[in-house]
Every structure is written in C-alpha cells, then in structure tokens.
Structure 1
C-alpha cells in the first residue's frame, strides 16, 4: 500500500510536462469551489484568474524556468503569463466537457 502512496506522491510533485498533465494536476489540487469558479466563467472572463490561479500555476509548474517543457507545450516562445492562460483555458474546457457528459448521462437515466 505504501508503494502506491509513494508513487502517487512523486507523480504529484513532478512538474507537469504537457498541458494535459497540468490539467490533471489542477484537478487533483483544486477544491470543488475553485473548479466551479473556473467552470462557470465565460472564456473572456478567465483573465480574472491571472493574479491568483495563474500565479500559482506559473510558480508551481515552473513556467518561468528556462527550458520548461510545459511552457514549450503551451506554445513556442509564449510568455509564462500566456502559458498559464492556456492551461486555465484547457482546464475550463476539460471541466465543461465532463459536466456536459454527466448531465447527458443524468438525462439518459431520467428518460429511460
């Protein structure tokens, strides 16, 4: 059992290398209230997260580090501020897709 915890711990501590890994990490560390706030924002309102979630992403995921694989995955030559925006937008879309799937499944259960 401790092997599983050890593997999970090192996975969480490892810096994400792709946008998908960063989104997965956010799903692990954000609470429901934070996820709902991102999910309910319009895409043009996501800039409101620049100085809170965006800063946390830039610092925790090393987007300012030269040679950051995650920064490169967000776009060639992209500024770390913009890279965190790419991650937040991807996170919002991911949550939105899953909410839509859950709602569709709930409606299917009601119709049946």
Structure 2
C-alpha cells in the first residue's frame, strides 16, 4: 500500500483545492470580502484539514503555512486560494 501524497506547499495545496471546486464555488469565493473568508472554516476549511493531511502527517504543509496549528493553516490556504481566484477572475469594467 502506498502512502497518500499530500501537497507540501501552500501553492500546491491551492492547486489541489481549485481542482476540486466547481466553477460556481470558485466564483462565489472570489467574490467574497476577505473578512468573510472565516465563514469557510467549517466547510471548506474542514475539507482542507481532513484531505490535505493537516491533522496527521503533513508537517511540510504546516511549515509552509507558518504554523503548527491545522485550523490556522487551513485559513492560510483559504486566503491564498481567495487571492489566486481573484487574480484569475476577469476584471469587469
């Protein structure tokens, strides 16, 4: 049995999360105010903590996030995701 490969950096983690989100979810997250991102803690944040190994063996990703706390690390990833999605959204003039 091979060990599951987890992303080791914030950038890799954001890529994994983006690949799992629907276009509608990406649009909704990109449109959020930064102060509202904490509202994603229990839904998307829990998915990140559970599926990217933040509760178990992914010390590299925790280190990349600059914290040993899985809750804090998931917020760092959500904020990076939000920034990337906002970069990717075409600007409406």
TM over 0.5: yes
Name the residue aligned to 1:85.
75
C-alpha change, 1:44 and 1:17, in structure 2 (3 Å) is same
Who wins on radius of gyration, i.e. which is larger? 1
Q: What TM-score, normalized to structure 1?
A: 0.73
Gaps of 5+ in 1: 1-12, 108-112
* 1:42-64 C-alpha deviation (Å, 9 max, x unpaired): 11100100000000000000111
Gaps of 5+ in 2: none
Q: What TM-score, normalized to structure 2?
A: 0.86
RMSD of Structure 2 on Structure 1 (CA): 1.8
| Structure 1 runs of 4+ with >2 Å offset | none
C-alpha change, 1:51 and 1:67, in structure 2 (3 Å) is closer
Structure number with greater CO (CA < 8 Å, separation at least 6) is: 2
* Greater helix share, structure number: 1
